[in-house]
Structure 1
């Protein structure tokens, strides 16, 4: 798995996340995830609260991409990986506690994302350059 550097962690903390998923017909969907955060050096996590399109898509296809780009800013990253859905376990319970502490809606599930690939979203000639590619075997 790819490992987040300290600089990447800071960028993530300073950014608003957008996820990309694909439905069963191959149609892309992009949406914001305000609860996206670092789970550990190799995973991200967010609280699934709406149960709408991204939730539907992740039921069938666990591939996901997350874009982080602070505004204003010239640097960003895209994280690609696989989503694992957690319901009824300790990760789900911890996500609900996070929601309660932050006065957020109840959690349908906690989504943990493996970090398999990281791509630069920097403005300029480094845009699209692969930084790390280390998928789970």
Structure 2
């Protein structure tokens, strides 16, 4: 993968994030990596991703402690993948929260990623 010049997701990249299983990684204060799948992850717009956080485990703690996150989606058959790096925060946008909970059928806090880098 190489870093792209744009920090805006293309329409094709947005589709990829919306249809493939995403994995989110973070790092603890002690430097321990954490990676896990986020079935509820969706594209909010060209600059933001979001998911409904239901486990509130290691990733949640790492985000609350200021860890950057990386979100990766890939397709094995085409050898295509996209990674974004950004800052995650808990959303207070009631419309977004309700929309994502309805679309995913999950209930929990909504985490939004502000995209700062895209690699493909």
Q: Is TM (by shorter chain) over 0.5?
A: yes
Q: Where does the alignment leave 5 or more consecutive residues of structure 1 unmatched?
A: 121-137
Length-normalised TM-score, structure 2 = 0.85
Q: Deviations over 1:27-62 (max 9, x none)?
A: 110000001110011100100011111111111024
Number of matched pairs: 115
Aligned to 1:37: 42
Whose strand proportion is higher, 1 or 2? 2
Moved segments of 4+, more than 6 Å: none
Of the structure 1 ranges 8-17 and 86-95, higher mean CA displacement relative to structure 2 is found in 86-95
Per the alignment, in what secondary structure is the counterpart of residue 117 of structure 1?
A: strand
Q: Report which of the two structures shows the higher radius of gyration computed on alpha carbons.
A: 1
Return the alpha-carbon distance in structure 2 between the equivalents of residues 8 and 95 of structure 1.
19
**CA-atom RMSD in angstroms:** 1.8
Counterpart selection for 1:70 from 68, 75, 85: 75
Structure 2: runs of 5+ lacking an equivalent: 1-5
Aligned counterpart, 2:23:
18
Write the distance in 1 (CA, Å) between the matches of 2:78 and 2:89.
31
Task: Give the number of the structure with larger relative contact order, counting CA–CA contacts within 8 Å between residues 6 or more apart.
Answer: 2
Match of 1:50 among 55, 58, 66: 55
- TM-score by length of structure 1 reads 0.75
CA–CA distance in 2 between the matches of 1:114 and 1:40?
A: 10
